[in-house]
Amino acid sequence: MLSVAVHHRLGNFVLDAAFDSAGGLTALFGPSGAGKTSLINAIAGLLRPDHGKIVVDGAVLTDTERGVFLPARKRRIGYVFQEGRLFPHLTVRQNLLYGRWFAPPMERKGGAPGEVDHVIELLGIGALLQRRPAHLSGGEKQRVAIGRALLARPRLLVMDEPLASLDEARKTEILPYIERLRDEARVPIIYVSHQIAEVARLATTLVVLSEGRVAAVGPTARIMGRIDLFPLTAFVR
């Protein structure tokens, strides 16, 4: 369960957004400048809001009234950026194993047998293990980045427009793996996008943002079907 309520001023822009999600893949959707990245940065601990409360699975990450602000490194949130940000001098396997160092010590020592192999199979990267990032496609890099984030045992996975830098062929390649991740990994996902086709295919919960505020939140099919939201949900960029 994820509960977010954030109020923060950035110059002339005011982020005043609140939503709850029961898990699955929650998409933050809206045009550029709607506040999507600011909101996930607040969730991840990269932005300290002026006011707000953020709770993930019962763990209070931010509560300004009580003076609680857990540092990003202690939040157990995996963050996948637009580019994979892999270590160029390490192989795919070494990049994946690097993620294990960020898992809690007890979980790192007592991790389930075959956990690494399961993530490799889940993301279809078994044939890439000895390669270095320079020899991977954009879609392959993103799958490795997702795997590295999963092996850190996150309580929440944040994906900030992970397909934005990919061409259509690479997007088509990676979408089924994100679907598998949503259905099989049992890690709640916050997924940022301004591409309606991605959101319609992937999201179980849709949060529509407009000018820093939540215009609507709920099951994707229901939100997509609301005529009053058509100006916000009908565009493709």
Residue 236 pLDDT: 39
Residues 38-59 pLDDT 10s: 999 999 999 999 999 999 999 9
Residue 197 pLDDT: 87
Could you give the 3-state DSSP secondary structure of residue 213?
A: strand
Q: Shortest CA distance to 190 belongs to which of 172, 176, 168, 209? A: 209
Q: Where are the domains of the chain?
A: 2-233
Contacting residues for 195 by C-beta, under 8 A, at least 6 apart? 163, 236, 237
Checking if the pLDDT of 101 tops 60, the result is: yes
Q: Alpha carbon 218 to chain centroid distance?
A: 18
Question: Torsions phi, psi of 221, nearest 5?
Answer: -60, -40
**Dihedral of the CA atoms 174, 179, 180, 181 (nearest 10)?**
90
Cα angle 135, 182, 188; round to 5: 110
Helix, strand, coil shares of the chain, percent, nearest 5, are 40, 25, 35
**Is there a contact between 124 and 177 (Cβ–Cβ < 8 Å)?**
yes
The mean pLDDT value for 169-189 works out to 91
**Is there a contact between 152 and 107 (Cβ–Cβ < 8 Å)?**
no
Residue 113 pLDDT: 45
Residue 40 pLDDT: 95
Residue 196 pLDDT: 86
> What pTM did the predictor assign?
0.88
Rounded Cα distance, 147 and 133, in Å: 14
With helix as H, strand as E and coil as C, how does 25-82 read? EEEEECCCCCCHHHHHHHHHCCCCCCEEEEEECCEEEEECCCCEECCHHHCCEEEECC
Q: Average model confidence (pLDDT) for the chain?
A: 89
User: CATH 1.10.260.40: does it fit domain 2-233?
Assistant: no
User: Half-sphere exposure of 168 toward its Cβ, with a 13 Å CA cutoff?
Assistant: 2
Residues 111-146 pLDDT 10s: 554 688 999 999 999 999 999 999 999 999 999 999
The mean pLDDT value for 144-154 works out to 92
Pairing assessment for the beta strands 51-56 and 205-210 based on DSSP bridges? unpaired
